[in-house]
């Protein structure tokens, strides 16, 4: 199983949960292969979100 | 000591945790918004005690009030956020087996309310769940 680290800046906050899920679906298209989203790490200072594939902690990256 | 979930005892201990946890007080210092969590039975399961709702009024790192809502006899409050989930999913959330963001992403946790506000305050959301995880649930 390949590991992915997907990093993105939040350009626009979605209004609803459905919008948010749709937004994520688009982001995930940037990753190749069958990515299973597991965890997100947020940087509240910068508003960045780092989403990862299989790994659950930074130490496993 | 473990507490039955959902129950008044569990909720009372959660409020004590929220109001005494220094990390939550710091992380949630800007949060303004009450929340109702509707706990539903598992698919196909009939339970006399479900659905039930937990209401918490969260304000600047503290819980100002809370109550368990008997949905048969009381309407849900007009809270800033209303969350809905099956009890088994909530138990997984509170035991750390299910990530809160993943639960929302997969709609196992359904959210009504200002999603933008919630996403701007993800650390607060995660830390609220961390506090919930500090209250042991009786199996």
Closest in A13, A19, A37 to B105, CB measured: A37
Q: What is the pLDDT of residue A48?
A: 47
B2 — pLDDT class (breaks 50, 70, 90):
very high
Q: How many C-beta atoms surround the C-beta of residue B94 within 10 A?
A: 21
Environment class of residue A2 by beta-carbon count within 10 Å: exposed (0-12), middle (13-18) or buried (19+)?
exposed
Chain A to chain B Cβ contacts (< 8 Å): 44
Closest in B102, B110, B116 to A38, CB measured: B102
Environment class of residue B1 by beta-carbon count within 10 Å: exposed (0-12), middle (13-18) or buried (19+)?
exposed
Q: What is the pLDDT of residue A35?
A: 58
Tell me whether residues A14 and B110 touch, CB distance under 8 A: no
pLDDT of residue B50 exceeding 70, the answer is yes
Q: A46 touching B, CB under 8 A?
A: no
A52 — pLDDT class (breaks 50, 70, 90):
very low
Is residue B138 included in any domain, yes or no?
no
Is residue B1 included in any domain, yes or no?
no
Tokens of A13: 């906050």
Ranking A57-61, B27-31, B48-52, B58-62 by mean pLDDT, the lowest is A57-61
Tell me whether residues A17 and B119 touch, CB distance under 8 A: no
Ranking A36-50, B18-32, B97-111, B117-131 by mean pLDDT, the lowest is A36-50
Average pLDDT, chain B: 93
Which ranges in chain A belong to alpha helices (H)?
17-28
Q: Give me the domain span that covers residue A27.
A: 5-60
Tell me whether residues A21 and B105 touch, CB distance under 8 A: yes
Ranking A12-16, A51-55, B64-68 by mean pLDDT, the lowest is A51-55
Overall number of domains in chain B: 1
Mutation pick from B102, B115, B123, B130 vs chain A, by most beta carbons of A within 10 Å, is B115
Lateral strand order in the sheet of A5-9: A5-9, A48-52, A39-43
Whole-complex ipTM: 0.83
Overall number of domains in chain A: 1
Q: Give me the domain span that covers residue B15.
A: 8-133
Is residue B56 included in any domain, yes or no?
yes
Task: List residues bridging with A51 in a β-sheet.
Answer: A6, A40
CATH number of B69's domain: 3.30.1050.10
A56 — pLDDT class (breaks 50, 70, 90):
very low
Closest in A14, A37, A42 to B116, CB measured: A14
A3 — pLDDT class (breaks 50, 70, 90):
low
Q: What is the mean pLDDT of residues A7-17?
A: 77
């Amino acid at each position: 199983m390949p590991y992915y680290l997907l990093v993105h800046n939040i350009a626009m906050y979605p209004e609803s949960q459905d919008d948010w899920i749709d937004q994520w679906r688009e982001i995930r298209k940037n990753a190749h292969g069958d990515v299973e989203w597991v965890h997100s790490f947020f940087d509240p200072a910068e508003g960045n979100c780092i989403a990862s594939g299989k790994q659950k902690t930074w130490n496993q990256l | 000591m473990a507490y039955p979930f959902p129950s008044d005892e569990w909720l009372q201990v959660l409020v004590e945790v929220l109001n005494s946890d220094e990390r939550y007080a710091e992380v949630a210092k800007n949060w303004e918004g009450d929340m109702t969590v509707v706990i539903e039975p598992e698919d196909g399961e009939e339970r006399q005690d479900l659905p039930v709702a937990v209401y918490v009024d969260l304000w600047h790192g503290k819980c100002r009030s809370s109550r368990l809502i008997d949905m048969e006899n009381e309407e849900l409050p007009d809270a800033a956020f209303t969350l809905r989930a099956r009890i088994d999913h909530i138990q997984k959330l509170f035991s750390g087996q299910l990530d809160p963001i993943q639960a929302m992403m997969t709609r196992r946790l359904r959210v009504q309310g200002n999603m933008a506000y919630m996403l701007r305050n993800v650390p607060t959301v995660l830390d609220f769940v961390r506090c919930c995880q500090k209250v042991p649930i009786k199996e």
